[in-house]
């Protein structure tokens, strides 16, 4: 082995603490890339594979009733590759063990089994058999939530007739990766579920024998979705078509896509932040490490080693850390990714979850971090290598010996000698002190970023389910009811307050932009449902016009004062024009609100209600549920707590996993940074401290000099870290503006506190390690050799 290589190995061994710390920083960077990217790609590929294998449709449409013969006309639309006609109906279910009524969406499937669009994947049990009208396949999410198994029975009210259904299979479908009912924001798998049932049983039960009320279309490659939608709408107009829509308006798909997109943003922004921080930290660490070796560099150059040789030698040091770190990071990242993948498998209900740890992702992760590290190392090495050897052989000249302003004040002179020395030392090299502070504040910042997600999700949950939604139960009718229905609701047991609302499904159009939403008519002065902006201020409902969620306004590109075309998708499908009266910075959902009376005028209808928000006396909840179950007009009742659970089980859960990973990584990076800063300070000043010891300073006094300095730098890093962390969170929040939710910019005291605790703990542990070294400082050896 060449002497230079040997020096590399020995130096690495000598600096192993620091080298490990650097490797850990790199590992965390790489692991972040690998975990998030592999997570994202696995999810995306699983989704794509699922959609293909189970032929998820491209265009969907519900209608009142059309003869089966119309199927051919649909298939004849240019660009349509396949058509599936179905009977779909929602019914009230009586689920064993569930107090409240549940809603079942009955979806027809062929018996015996035949290939269909939106095909069902059987998890357990068997397919329904022809001639047995009571057999159903239940969706897995619904079955799991209610503890239902193959062989269990359910009660259902089919068009007023009570019927018993028997579960013969448990299945999933690409159409219902998420099962979200109507206007709800999140899945409530206990109270809403899909049941697949024979067309032969469902058709007659809903008076749709030889007819259908729902169709799905698959597009041929290259077909234009909007053209097909327009043609389908024209075709189905006579049959009470409720407006065809593409995948982006299909609830399960858009919810899932949002989640996957979230993962992608997460997998881009977070690694970028982490790698950026890691590269910068590496630069600081290596620059100082190299600087402590400037005399050795001079010797190498004096004997004829070219700058390139010397540069490569030090780059080798960085590379060794990067390679070890990358390997560790790849292993760690893959391990996390597979753990996350197992969680996804439960969570997303795909038939097979692809675990896609492509070599490319790992290579990219390692490559990007290596590049970042080398960039950091290069800039550090270049400066020193460029010095002429004669100059490098002298110790770095002190920047300035002049007494600064502070040193001429009386306050300064009153300081104890040790503090004055600390101050001198910091003031003499302000750039180095500033870099140290910046490095540690970045560590604080990523801790804050990691924990920020917890804050945002907490806030989101509290905001939506405490401040916006304040009802206990939401009741929804099958069809709008006349005004007297509100008295019936108020008369129900346990109902303390009932606020009726009117909701119509509608397609909002502005120019070529359009979106399907639920248009809510809310009573003025509603207490149980409030429209709040992001700061929690109530947005008043104007007497005329609609208030839109900011995100919806952005999608439609409208501002207050603009006219919207509203195509109502029920009851004769009127098309009206509505002025945008206001924008609300709501955090969850894409909503459009109007004053209930304005909505009635829009619909040219009298006072009527689609449902009501109820405040309920908890003691009588059971009695209320029994009553609701028995009311044929009630399509479903959801409780706020169930909705909160739906929120926690979806959004919160998937973000939580990542947050845990991130916070761990951030803590490791922070600790590694602080340790490195302290260790380098020790090697930079080892000789000076040893000289002081020789002059009679005690270990304690010497430690105070070094550690005191570190303490001051650490303290200075905290406020700066808070600021940088907050700015990064703001950047994240602005990237996290999804259709289903918007990330609020809230950073809690807890998060700041957590960052400080980690930083201080790391600083104390490092101080202890450094103190041990100071105690063992071999005075003779230090003074004898020039390092």
Residues that bind ligand ATP (CB under 6 A): 391, 394
Rounded (10°) angle between helices 251-292 and 430-462: 160
Q: Which token pair is 726?
A: 């907050």
Q: Is 779 in the site for another protein (CB under 8 A)?
A: no
CB of 307 vs another protein, minimal distance in Å:
6
CB of 10 vs another protein, minimal distance in Å:
4
Residue 495 phi, psi dihedral angles, 5° rounding: -80, 120
Applying CB under 8 A, which of residues 19, 102, 185, 298 lies at the interface with another protein? 298
Q: 588 pairs with which residues across the strands?
A: 741
| Nearer residue to another protein within complex by CB, 4 or 434 | 4
CB of 671 vs ligand ATP, minimal distance in Å:
39
Looking at 54-130, list the stretches that DSSP marks H as alpha helix, in order from N- to C-terminal side: 70-76
**What residue 6 binds from ligand ATP, another protein, none (CB within 5 to 8 A, per partner kind)?**
another protein
| Nearer residue to ligand ATP within complex by CB, 221 or 397 | 397
CA-based radius of gyration for the chain:
33
| Nearer residue to ligand ATP within complex by CB, 209 or 391 | 391
Applying CB under 8 A, which of residues 220, 306, 557, 768 lies at the interface with another protein? 306
| CA 179 to chain CA mean position, Å | 19
Q: Is 300 in the site for another protein (CB under 8 A)?
A: yes
**What residue 604 binds from another protein, ligand ATP, none (CB within 5 to 8 A, per partner kind)?**
none
* Three-state SS at 571: coil
**What residue 14 binds from another protein, ligand ATP, none (CB within 5 to 8 A, per partner kind)?**
another protein
Q: Is 305 in the site for another protein (CB under 8 A)?
A: yes
CB of 304 vs another protein, minimal distance in Å:
2
| CA 200 to chain CA mean position, Å | 43
| Contact mark string toward another protein, 359..398, x via CB under 8 A | -----------------------------xxxx-x---x-
With CB atoms as reference, the residue minimizing the distance to ligand ATP is 394
Q: Is 768 in the site for another protein (CB under 8 A)?
A: no
Find where tokens 């294998």 sit. 53
Gap between the Cα atoms of 287 and 292, Å rounded: 9
Ranges within 4-43 binding another protein (CB under 8 A): 4, 6-7, 10-11, 14
The dihedral formed by the CA atoms of 568, 569, 573 and 578, expressed in degrees to the nearest 10: 10
Ranges within 397-426 binding another protein (CB under 8 A): 397, 400
CB of 389 vs ligand ATP, minimal distance in Å:
12
Gap between the Cα atoms of 548 and 555, Å rounded: 11
| Nearer residue to ligand ATP within complex by CB, 248 or 394 | 394
Q: HSE (CB half, 13 Å, CA atoms) of 287?
A: 16
Q: Which token pair is 249?
A: 């308006």
Q: Which token pair is 2?
A: 């060449």
Gap between the Cα atoms of 27 and 669, Å rounded: 9
**What residue 417 binds from another protein, ligand ATP, none (CB within 5 to 8 A, per partner kind)?**
none
| Nearer residue to ligand ATP within complex by CB, 13 or 401 | 401
**What residue 10 binds from ligand ATP, another protein, none (CB within 5 to 8 A, per partner kind)?**
another protein
* Three-state SS at 563: strand
Applying CB under 8 A, which of residues 46, 254, 296, 766 lies at the interface with another protein? 296
Q: HSE (CB half, 13 Å, CA atoms) of 576?
A: 20
Gap between the Cα atoms of 245 and 233, Å rounded: 9
State the DSSP H helix or E strand holding residue 702, giving kind and residue range, or none if neither: helix 699-735
Rounded (10°) angle between helices 3-14 and 307-348: 50
Q: HSE (CB half, 13 Å, CA atoms) of 261?
A: 13
| Nearer residue to ligand ATP within complex by CB, 10 or 394 | 394
Q: Is 134 in the site for another protein (CB under 8 A)?
A: no
CB of 394 vs ligand ATP, minimal distance in Å:
5
| Nearer residue to ligand ATP within complex by CB, 65 or 383 | 383
CB of 299 vs another protein, minimal distance in Å:
5
Of the candidates 529, 532, 452, which has an alpha carbon nearest to the alpha carbon of residue 743?
Answer: 452
Gap between the Cα atoms of 784 and 374, Å rounded: 34
Q: Which token pair is 475?
A: 């009741």
| Nearer residue to another protein within complex by CB, 97 or 304 | 304
| Nearer residue to another protein within complex by CB, 46 or 683 | 683
CB of 409 vs another protein, minimal distance in Å:
24
Inter-CA distances, 595 with 147, 151, 476, 583, 602, Å:
41, 48, 18, 14, 10
Residue 394 phi, psi dihedral angles, 5° rounding: -80, 150
| Nearer residue to another protein within complex by CB, 200 or 396 | 396
Applying CB under 8 A, which of residues 307, 338, 660, 748 lies at the interface with another protein? 307
CB of 427 vs another protein, minimal distance in Å:
17
Span from 1-9, 271-279, 355-363, 465-473 in contact with another protein (CB under 8 A) = 1-9
| Nearer residue to ligand ATP within complex by CB, 221 or 398 | 398
Gap between the Cα atoms of 773 and 768, Å rounded: 9
Residues counted in the chain: 787
First to last CA, the chain: 23
Q: Which token pair is 511?
A: 């120019």
| Nearer residue to ligand ATP within complex by CB, 147 or 388 | 388
**What residue 11 binds from ligand ATP, another protein, none (CB within 5 to 8 A, per partner kind)?**
another protein
Q: 157 pairs with which residues across the strands?
A: 92, 162
User: How many residues make contact with another protein (CB under 8 A)?
Assistant: 32
Span from 68-76, 299-307, 458-466, 468-476 in contact with another protein (CB under 8 A) = 299-307
| Nearer residue to ligand ATP within complex by CB, 393 or 631 | 393
**Exposed/middle/buried for residue 775 (C-beta within 10 Å: 0-12, 13-18, 19+):** exposed
State the DSSP H helix or E strand holding residue 582, giving kind and residue range, or none if neither: strand 575-584
| CA 716 to chain CA mean position, Å | 32
Q: Which token pair is 130?
A: 């022809």
| Nearer residue to another protein within complex by CB, 10 or 126 | 10
**What residue 701 binds from another protein, ligand ATP, none (CB within 5 to 8 A, per partner kind)?**
none
**Contacts with another protein, residue ranges (CB under 8 A):** 2-4, 6-7, 10-11, 14, 295-296, 298-307, 388-391, 393, 397, 400, 781, 784-787
């Amino acid at each position: 082995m060449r002497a230079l290589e040997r020096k590399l190995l020995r130096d690495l061994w000598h600096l192993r603490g620091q080298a490990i710390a650097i490797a850990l920083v790199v590992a965390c960077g790489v692991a972040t890339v690998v975990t998030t990217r592999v997570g994202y790609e696995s999810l995306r590929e699983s989704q794509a594979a699922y959609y293909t294998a189970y032929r998820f449709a491209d265009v969907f449409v519900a209608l009142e009733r059309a003869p089966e013969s119309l199927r051919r006309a649909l298939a004849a639309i240019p660009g349509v590759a396949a058509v599936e006609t179905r009977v779909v109906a929602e019914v009230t279910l009586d689920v064993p063990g569930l107090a409240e009524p549940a809603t079942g969406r009955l979806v027809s499937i062929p018996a015996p089994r035949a290939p269909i669009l939106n095909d069902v994947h059987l998890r357990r049990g068997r397919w329904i058999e022809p001639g047995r009208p009571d057999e159903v396949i239940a969706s897995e999410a619904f079955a799991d939530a209610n503890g239902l198994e193959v062989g269990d029975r359910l009660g259902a009210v089919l068009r007023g007739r009570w019927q018993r259904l028997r579960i013969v299979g448990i299945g999933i479908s690409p159409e219902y990766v998420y099962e979200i009912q109507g206007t709800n924001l999140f899945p409530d798998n206990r109270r809403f579920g899909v049941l697949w049932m024979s067309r032969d049983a469902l058709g007659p039960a809903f008076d749709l024998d030889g007819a259908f009320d729902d169709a799905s279309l698959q597009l041929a490659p290259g077909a234009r979705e909007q053209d097909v939608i327009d043609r389908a709408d024209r075709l189905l107009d006579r049959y009470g078509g409720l407006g065809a829509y593409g995948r982006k308006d299909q609830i399960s798909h858009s919810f899932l896509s949002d989640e996957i997109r979230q993962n992608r943003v997460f997998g881009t922004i977070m690694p970028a932040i982490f790698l950026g921080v890691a590269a910068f930290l590496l630069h600081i660490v290596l620059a100082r490490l190299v600087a402590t070796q400037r005399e050795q560099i001079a010797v190498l150059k004096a004997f004829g080693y070219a700058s390139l040789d010397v540069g490569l030698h030090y780059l080798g040091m960085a590379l060794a850390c990067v390679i070890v770190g990358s390997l560790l990071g790849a292993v760690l990242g893959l391990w996390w990714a597979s753990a996350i993948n197992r969680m996804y498998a439960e969570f997303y209900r795909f038939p097979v979850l692809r675990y896609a740890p492509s070599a490319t992702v790992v290579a990219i992760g390692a490559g990007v971090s290596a590049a970042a590290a080398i960039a950091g190392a290069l800039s550090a090495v270049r400066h020193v290598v460029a010095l002429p050897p004669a100059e490098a052989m002298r110790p770095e000249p002190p920047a300035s010996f002049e007494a600064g302003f502070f040193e001429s004040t009386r306050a300064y002179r009153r300081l104890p000698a040790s503090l004055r020395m600390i101050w001198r030392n910091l003031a003499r090299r302000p750039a180095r002190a500033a870099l140290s502070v910046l490095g540690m504040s970045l560590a604080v910042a990523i801790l804050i970023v990691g924990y920020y997600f917890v804050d945002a999700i907490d806030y989101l949950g509290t905001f939506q389910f405490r401040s916006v939604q304040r009802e206990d139960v939401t009741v929804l009718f099958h069809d709008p009811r006349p005004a007297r229905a509100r008295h019936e609701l108020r008369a129900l047991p346990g109902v303390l307050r009932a606020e009726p609302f009117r909701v119509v499904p509608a397609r909002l159009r502005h120019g070529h932009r359009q979106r399907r939403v639920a248009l809510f008519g809310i009573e003025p002065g509603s207490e149980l449902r409030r429209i709040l902006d992001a700061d929690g201020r109530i947005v008043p409902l104007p007497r005329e016009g609609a208030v839109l969620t900011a995100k919806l306004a952005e999608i439609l590109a409208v501002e207050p004062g603009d006219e919207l075309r509203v195509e109502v998708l029920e009851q004769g499908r009127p098309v009206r024009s509505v002025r945008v009266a206001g924008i609300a910075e709501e955090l969850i959902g894409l909503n459009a609100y109007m004053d209930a009376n304005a909505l009635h005028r829009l619909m040219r209808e009298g006072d009527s209600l689609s449902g009501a928000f109820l405040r309920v006396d908890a003691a009588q909840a059971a009695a209320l549920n029994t009553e609701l179950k028995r009311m044929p007009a009630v399509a479903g009742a959801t409780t706020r707590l169930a909705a909160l659970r739906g929120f926690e089980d979806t959004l919160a859960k998937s973000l939580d996993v990542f947050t845990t990973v991130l916070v761990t990584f951030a803590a490791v990076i922070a600790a590694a940074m602080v340790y490195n800063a302290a260790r380098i300070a020790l090697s930079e000043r080892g000789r000076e401290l040893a000289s002081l010891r020789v002059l009679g300073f005690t270990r304690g006094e010497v430690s105070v000099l070094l550690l005191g300095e570190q303490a001051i730098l650490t303290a200075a890093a905290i406020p700066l870290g808070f600021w940088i962390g907050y700015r990064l969170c703001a950047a994240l929040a602005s990237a996290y503006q999804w259709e289903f939710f918007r990330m609020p910019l809230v950073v809690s005291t807890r998060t700041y506190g957590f960052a400080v605790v980690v930083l201080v703990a790391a600083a104390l542990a490092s101080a202890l390690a450094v103190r041990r070294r100071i105690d063992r400082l071999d005075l003779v050896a230090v003074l004898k050799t020039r390092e």
